[in-house]
Structure formats: structure tokens, C-alpha cells
């Protein structure tokens, strides 16, 4: 009886101080015992297991139970349904900033607590905070990110022509041509998936047009018929327009296949561009070893552009503001949670206070470092910022238009007009 009373008193004291002073006092092991938070995320399989280890650390730290619901690609639908049904989860990890903004404006989300905001400001470059803010209020932060500015290359193919990782776009074309002379296609493009093509475009555009124009185009403040878009498409056409450089059947090649084309046996191409998760495709589908046979170089600079990274990511947001939920958000915003998953592999974080040594190997360390080093030159994947009808639908909008561009890279004007027409329709709604 006495013991319980003391526990209650302690809890009240902690809760009180957390509420008033913004959580100066730490949370002890048993303080949130008996409370449960539900968290919805996109991860299944191995990623789910790894994330559950992160959550287990939270449980042992605070005593609160966390129930993880994997929703896969259907996460937006799952969330939308649960919000309409009046039973939202405590926390969700959302890959589409547009959806976060939509939920925030519909008052489904709770702005983060002052402690979480402090942690986000402290541990991340300003651009990430901006990404999680809607109408001046911070609603979330990127917990897991993807570095979408990497060219993965086969060491063997590069050796055959004595090539070194190119630092500029022109060098890349030159290297590509040298590789094509050996009968190998220079790049393998996964054109059956539209999202790989939007990533190509975004990387070139971020470099040729600069971050300011990138932001404007993402909000459709400048049209897709803008000269800056033409410039980017023309640069892209230098590579895509040469049939000896791009592997055959690109439009029928899905993303995993495009990776296997380079690192599988027999290999038909020397390089594949995509995000850090190419590494896991290599490990699961080919015999090539990441770091030895398969290496990466950052997306080359175009016309002297500064180092910049296009990133994707899953943003943690909260639908409830009870104590356990807020504690969980605080935990996810701390370097502590990220370091757990970083050690398990397949994880990058924009959190600059995660120690580099927390990542398991050189390649991952390098990928993570480039995101942190690019600082405010990081831009979120534009197609994920756009309305889904334009930037995220199979066979429609930007995906389809860029696929048509890959099929006919000479048709820059036609593609720009189609992009603009589709964008106008999608943003107008």
C-alpha cells in the first residue's frame, strides 16, 4: 500500500514536472508501466524486426508497451480509414510530407511537444524542421531517411576501362562512353517503375536549377515549362538519348531487375542510379559484395553545382498527445533510438548526432555522412511532395511522362508540356 502510494506520488511529480518545465526530469524504467502506444509504420519483414528492437528499447526504458502495426505501401489508406473511423494510432511514420500536411490541416495531428521540438532543432539541419512544419507549427520529424543521390557501380566494369568514379556530369558521360566501348551498357535504368525516373530528374534538377527553384517547382510556383526544367531534361537526354549508354528494355525493367543487371551474373550494365537501399537488393539477389564488388559514388555535380542530396524519408507524427505517446516521440527524435537501428543495418538518419561509428560499415557511414554534410542542401523527394495524382501514381502524371521521355529523349518540349498539363490538373484540385 505504502509502496504504491509512493509510486503514485513519484509519477505525479514526474508528470507534473514534465508538463511544466518541459521534461527536465528524466523518465525512469517503470514510470509509464501499463500504458500502451500504437504506432503504424510502413516496415515489414526484416525492417519490422529491426524497428521492433528500437521499440523494445523504449519499453525497457519507460515501461510503456508499444504495439507496432505494419501497413506496408497501403499506409496512407490505412491511416485515412482509421482517422475517419475515429481510432487513429498514437504515432505514425509517413513517407509523404503532403499527407502529413493534409492531416495537420484537418486537425487530425497534434503538434509536437516543446521537448520534441527542441530535440529536432538540436539534432537536425534546419531544412528537416521546415519539412515537418505546417503553417508554422512543427508536427513531426524524419526518423528514417533514404539517400537518393547515389550511383552504384560495378568495380569490375570500371576496372576494365580503368575508370574512376566521376565527379561531374560531363565526366559521367565520358566514363559511360568508355564503358560502352567494352560492349557493356553504361547505366541500367529501372524504367518500368516511374519513381526511379522521378529520382533521376530530381537529382539533375536540384543541381542545374538550385534548391530555390527546386522548392518552387515542388510547390508548382513555377511551371514545368520553365527554362530550368528544359535545362535539366536536356542534361538528362545527354545520357538517356544515347542508346549505347542505356541498357536495353529499360521501360520493361523494374527497379530490382535494374540492380541485378549490374551486379548479377551475367551483368549487362556497369552502373545503376538509385538510393541507399540498392545495397540491400544487391545483398539479397546477387553474389556481389557491397563495398568490394559494388561501390557507390554520389550523384555527380552538374555544371559546377554544390554538393546536394535528394532524400526520402519516413516522418514520425503523433495523433494523440498523452504522456506515453509524447515520450515515444521524444525517444524517436533522440540519437539513441536511431543508433539502435543504425547498428542493425539498412538505416540512415538525418540526425547529425548519431555517431558515425554507429553505422555498421564504410558504405553506410559514407551514405549517412553525405546526408548530414549536405546540411541545408538536402531536398526531399519532389514527387513525394507533389499531389499523389501527379507524383505518385503508376502509369499517370510525372511517372508516365518521364517514362515517355525515356522512350523518346529528343521530345523535350512535348514532355514539358505534358508535365505542365498534368501538374496543373493535379495541383489545381
Partner 1 sequence: MKPRKFGLSSSVDAAPGRSPRQAIPFLLPALVVLAALVLYPLVFSLIRSFFDASGDEFVGLRNYVDTFTDQRTLTAFRNNVIWVVVAPAAVTGIGLVLAVLTERIKWATAFRLVLFMPMAISLFASGIIFRLVYEEEPDQGVVNAALVGVHDLFSPSSAYPKARPRDGYTPTDAGYVATAPSRAGDTIMVPLVGFPPQDVPAQALPASQPTSGNGELRGLVWLDVSVGGKAGKVDPIERGLPGIQLEAVRDGKVVARTTTGDDGRFTFPDLASDEVVVRLPESNFALPFRGLTWLGPSLITPVIISSWIWIMTGFAITFIAAGLSAIPRDALEAARVDGATEWQVFRRVTIPLLSPVLLVVFVTLVINVLKIFELVFVIAPGSVQSEANVLALQMWQVSFGTGGDQGAGSALAVILFLLVAPAMLFNIRRFRRERS
Residues lying near partner 1 in the complex (CB under 8 A) are found at 74, 76-77, 80, 96, 159-162, 180-184, 191-194, 244, 248-249, 251-252, 254, 387-389, 392-396, 399-400, 403, 429
Give me the least distance between CB of 366 and partner 1, in Å please: 26
Residue 151, classed as helix, strand or coil, is strand
User: Residue 325 corresponds to which cell in the numbers above?
Assistant: 505517446
DSSP E strand boundaries for 121-184: 133-134, 137-138, 140-147, 150-154
Give me the least distance between CB of 167 and partner 1, in Å please: 20
Residue 229, classed as helix, strand or coil, is helix
Q: Closer to partner 1 by CB, 93 or 209: give it.
A: 93
Q: Closer to partner 1 by CB, 96 or 286: give it.
A: 96
Which uninterrupted H or E stretch holds 323? Answer: helix 323-333
Q: What dihedral angle (degrees, nearest 10) is formed by the CA atoms of 237, 238, 244, 245?
A: -90
Centre a 10 Å sphere on the Cβ of residue 226 and count the other Cβ atoms it contains.
17
Residue 236, classed as helix, strand or coil, is helix
Output phi, psi for 57, to 5 deg: -65, -35
Give me the least distance between CB of 183 and partner 1, in Å please: 4
Give me the least distance between CB of 202 and partner 1, in Å please: 17
In DSSP terms, 32 is beta-bridged to none
Q: Closer to partner 1 by CB, 246 or 333: give it.
A: 246
Give me the least distance between CB of 179 and partner 1, in Å please: 10
Q: Closer to partner 1 by CB, 49 or 394: give it.
A: 394
Give me the least distance between CB of 162 and partner 1, in Å please: 4
Q: Closer to partner 1 by CB, 57 or 251: give it.
A: 251
Give me the least distance between CB of 244 and partner 1, in Å please: 6
Residues 361, 357: Cα–Cα separation, whole Å? 8
DSSP 320: -
Q: Closer to partner 1 by CB, 254 or 361: give it.
A: 254
Q: Closer to partner 1 by CB, 65 or 293: give it.
A: 293
Q: Closer to partner 1 by CB, 193 or 202: give it.
A: 193
Give me the least distance between CB of 343 and partner 1, in Å please: 33
Which uninterrupted H or E stretch holds 128? Answer: helix 126-131
Spatial neighbors of 2 by CB under 8 A, at least 6 apart, are: none
Output phi, psi for 236, to 5 deg: -60, -40
Q: Closer to partner 1 by CB, 168 or 268: give it.
A: 268
Spatial neighbors of 372 by CB under 8 A, at least 6 apart, are: 125, 350, 352
User: Residue 127 corresponds to which cell in the numbers above?
Assistant: 531544412
Give me the least distance between CB of 131 and partner 1, in Å please: 19
Spatial neighbors of 208 by CB under 8 A, at least 6 apart, are: 228, 231, 232, 235, 302, 303, 305
CA-derived radius of gyration, the chain? 23
Amino acid at each position: 500500500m505504502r509502496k504504491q502510494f509512493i509510486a503514485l506520488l513519484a509519477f505525479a511529480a514526474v508528470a507534473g514536472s514534465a508538463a511544466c518545465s518541459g521534461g527536465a526530469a528524466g523518465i525512469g524504467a517503470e514510470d509509464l508501466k501499463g500504458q500502451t502506444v500504437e504506432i503504424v509504420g510502413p516496415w515489414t519483414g526484416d525492417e519490422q524486426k529491426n524497428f521492433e528492437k528500437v521499440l523494445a528499447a523504449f519499453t525497457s526504458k519507460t515501461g510503456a508497451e508499444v504495439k507496432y502495426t505494419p501497413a506496408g505501401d497501403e499506409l496512407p489508406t490505412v491511416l485515412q480509414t482509421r482517422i475517419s473511423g475515429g481510432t487513429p494510432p498514437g504515432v505514425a511514420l509517413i513517407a509523404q510530407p503532403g499527407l502529413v500536411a493534409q492531416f495537420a490541416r484537418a486537425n487530425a495531428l497534434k503538434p509536437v511537444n516543446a521537448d520534441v521540438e527542441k530535440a529536432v532543432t538540436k539534432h537536425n539541419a534546419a531544412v528537416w524542421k521546415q519539412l515537418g512544419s505546417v503553417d508554422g507549427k512543427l508536427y513531426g520529424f524524419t526518423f528514417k531517411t533514404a539517400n537518393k543521390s547515389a550511383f552504384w557501380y560495378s568495380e569490375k566494369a570500371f576496372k576494365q576501362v580503368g575508370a574512376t568514379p566521376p565527379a561531374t556530369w560531363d565526366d559521367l558521360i565520358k566514363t559511360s562512353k568508355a564503358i560502352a566501348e567494352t560492349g557493356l551498357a553504361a547505366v541500367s535504368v529501372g524504367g518500368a517503375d516511374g519513381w526511379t525516373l522521378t529520382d533521376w530528374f530530381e537529382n539533375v534538377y536540384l543541381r542545374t536549377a538550385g534548391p530555390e527553384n527546386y522548392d518552387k517547382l515542388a510547390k508548382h510556383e513555377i511551371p514545368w515549362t520553365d527554362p530550368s526544367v528544359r535545362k535539366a531534361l536536356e542534361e538528362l537526354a545527354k545520357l538517356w538519348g544515347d542508346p549505347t549508354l542505356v541498357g536495353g528494355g529499360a521501360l520493361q525493367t523494374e527497379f530490382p531487375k535494374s540492380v541485378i543487371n549490374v551486379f548479377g551474373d551475367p551483368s549487362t550494365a556497369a552502373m545503376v542510379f538509385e538510393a541507399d537501399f540498392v545495397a540491400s537488393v544487391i545483398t539479397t539477389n546477387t553474389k556481389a559484395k557491397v563495398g568490394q564488388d559494388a561501390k557507390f559514388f554520389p550523384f555527380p555535380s552538374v555544371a559546377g553545382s554544390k554538393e546536394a542530396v535528394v532524400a526520402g524519408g519516413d516522418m514520425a507524427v503523433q495523433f494523440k498527445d498523452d504522456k506515453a505517446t509524447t515520450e515515444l516521440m521524444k525517444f524517436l527524435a533522440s540519437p539513441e533510438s536511431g543508433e539502435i537501428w543504425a547498428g542493425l543495418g539498412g538505416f540512415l538518419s538525418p540526425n547529425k548526432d548519431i555517431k558515425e561509428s554507429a553505422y555498421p560499415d564504410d558504405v553506410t557511414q559514407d551514405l549517412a555522412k553525405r546526408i548530414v554534410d549536405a546540411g541545408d542542401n538536402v531536398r526531399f523527394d519532389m514527387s513525394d511532395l507533389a499531389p499523389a495524382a501527379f507524383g505518385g501514381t503508376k502509369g499517370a502524371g510525372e511517372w508516365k511522362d518521364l517514362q515517355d521521355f525515356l522512350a523518346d529523349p529528343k521530345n523535350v518540349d512535348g514532355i514539358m508540356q505534358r508535365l505542365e498539363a498534368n501538374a496543373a490538373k493535379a495541383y489545381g484540385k
